[in-house]
Structure 1
Amino acid sequence: MLKKLVAGLCFVLPSRPTRFLYRLCGHRIGRNVRIPALTFVHAENMTIGNDVTIRRFVYIHVRKLSLGANTIVSYGSQIKGEAGFSCQDNCFLGIHCLIHCLDNVSLGFYSGLGPRCTVYTHGSFLPVTMGYPAKFAPVVMEDHVWIAMEVTVMPGAHIERNCIINPGVVVQGRIRTNSILHIDPKQYGVHDLGRLQKLSKKDTSYWHHQIISAFLSSQSASYQHDAGAASYSVPGRYTFISRPEMNVIELHIGKGRILYDLDLLCADESRRLIHKKFLAFIRLRHGLTLRTRYG
């Protein structure tokens, strides 16, 4: 919390006091680092090398941040997520780049992203319970990789050293060393989404278990799972109960009960913090956006 408060204070301060305050927090900040006012940079563990320049209107909020020497992060870029971002020396991020770090993102030596590039480590929005795909995986860009403007890098992409990705390309999978990628209109294809959904769809009880257990793990909660009662209890705090026959998940807190209807995509109204966290988690991780059912 202290480090985040310092980051908020540094938002209105010039580079010199910002460097001083970050060092007081235990961050490793090199010489001649430029972090001007109107820039927000926060990480629990931060290492910034010599001569790094972070422009105005940049927003960085990750768990672990490592910027190699002589790196430039240009105006309006965002790097955010629950995992880490790292780059080696001489890297470059063009204006208005968007990097989502729900898993780790790394750039090698002398690599860069052109303007308006997007890097995703997660791919989910539509409900996985209906067979829609969801993927979460780190992204790796090795040494001497240049990604030109408006390229989208998908979860799990790994670009080996000495590659150029031309504008507009969507990068997936592993790109071998010494490759140049560009858009070829002849290679566009159409796939059967309905068939994919049928192949991907799993039993309701499977998804309930995945959703509840993953959420509790994300909260670092020690819980007891009773398979017979389909319950997941965090002693003294709350209990989730799976009702696969109705496709409903229940959250019991004390004498209260909150219902999450995954067929109707709605949930009971509640101001409980754990309820809000659960809604945010299943929306991000499982593509389940639930409307509030007001009583």
Structure 2
Amino acid sequence: MSLYRAIIFLLLFIAPPPLKPPILRIACGAQIGRGVSIGWFSTLMGRHISIGDYSAIRALTIINCGGNLSIGRYSIISSFTLIYGADGLRIGDHCYIGPQSLINTEEEVRIGHRSALGARCMLYTHGSFFPYSEGYWVRFAPITIGNRVWCATGVFLHPGTTIGDNSFVNSRSVVSGEIPPDSIVEGNPARMIGSMSRMQRTITPRRLDAIAEQMLHHFLVITATQGTFR
């Protein structure tokens, strides 16, 4: 990171949330959409920064990518998340990154549309510690998560992991290699235990009305008790 970018990185950390989007636009040439919010003591940096409309980076989150940083529309990165590495991060629309997650971007990480990571998920694109020059192993590879993928709390993804569209990874699973689309996987090491299409229920119009009523009730409870989503 150049000295100039390091100064901007620190300035963003201490700046009040309303000032962070304009600082990024002016100082970094970032493309920041409408209604974007960046919380207290959060900061971010990338070679090129793009954040879509109404996305949010919650308080106390650090993002430092050597490559491009792209966040789609209506996506949320929760508090206490750490994202860092020499390459970039691409997050689609309507995505959610849970609190205390860690995403290493030594190689590129891609997350498709309407996908989510639960709290305390870890994504590593490198695996090495012992000296490579002494014959020990080293692994660097990108991670790709497809569209409509849910990784529940505490999932660990190894370098080179690819998860196909419309899949679910159960809590505390350790995943490596390629997961086919429409999969349900769990365990250490993670193994396929079913398909999403077989688990999906048929929704009748009456059931759909009941679901909508339930969602509206929860929405009213949340807004009444918290008053805000920020």
The answer to whether the 8 A contact 1:102-1:136 is kept is yes
Pairwise CA RMSD: 1.5
What TM-score do the two structures reach when normalised by structure 1? 0.61
Q: CA 1:135 to 1:112, structure 2 compared with 1: closer, same or farther past 3 Å?
A: same
Q: Which amino acid aligns with 1:87?
A: I
Q: CA 1:44 to 1:129, structure 2 compared with 1: closer, same or farther past 3 Å?
A: closer
CA distance in 2, matches of 1:8, 1:50: 24
1:265-284 paired onto structure 2 within 5 Å: none
One of 39, 45, 50 as aligned partner of 1:47: 50
CA distance in 2, matches of 1:182, 1:171: 8
Residue 107 of structure 1: aligned partner: 111
Q: Give SS of 1:44's match.
A: coil
Q: Which amino acid aligns with 2:41?
A: L
**Deviation (angstroms), 1:130:** 4.2
Q: Give SS of 2:38's match.
A: coil
Greater radius of gyration (CA): 1
Number of matched pairs: 186
One of 174, 184, 192 as aligned partner of 1:170: 174
CA distance in 1, matches of 2:57, 2:165: 25
**Deviation (angstroms), 1:157:** 0.5
One of 119, 137, 142 as aligned partner of 2:141: 137
One of 183, 186, 203 as aligned partner of 2:187: 183
- Structure 1 gap ranges (5+): 188-295
Deviations along 1:141-197, one digit per CA (max 9) or x if unpaired, are 010010011111000001110100001111111100100001279x8xxxxxxxxxx
One of 70, 78, 89 as aligned partner of 2:93: 89
Residue 62 of structure 2: aligned partner: 59
CA distance in 2, matches of 1:37, 1:149: 25
- Structure 2 gap ranges (5+): 192-230
Q: Give SS of 2:137's match.
A: coil
Percent identical: 34
Q: Give SS of 2:130's match.
A: coil
Query: In terms of mean alpha carbon deviation, does 4-13 or 170-179 score higher?
Result: 4-13
What TM-score do the two structures reach when normalised by structure 2? 0.77
**Deviation (angstroms), 1:7:** 2.5
Q: CA 1:184 to 1:84, structure 2 compared with 1: closer, same or farther past 3 Å?
A: closer
Deviations along 1:5-52, one digit per CA (max 9) or x if unpaired, are 223112122222111111112110111111122112111210011111
CA distance in 2, matches of 1:49, 1:135: 32
Runs of 4+ in 1 over 4 A off after TM superposition: none
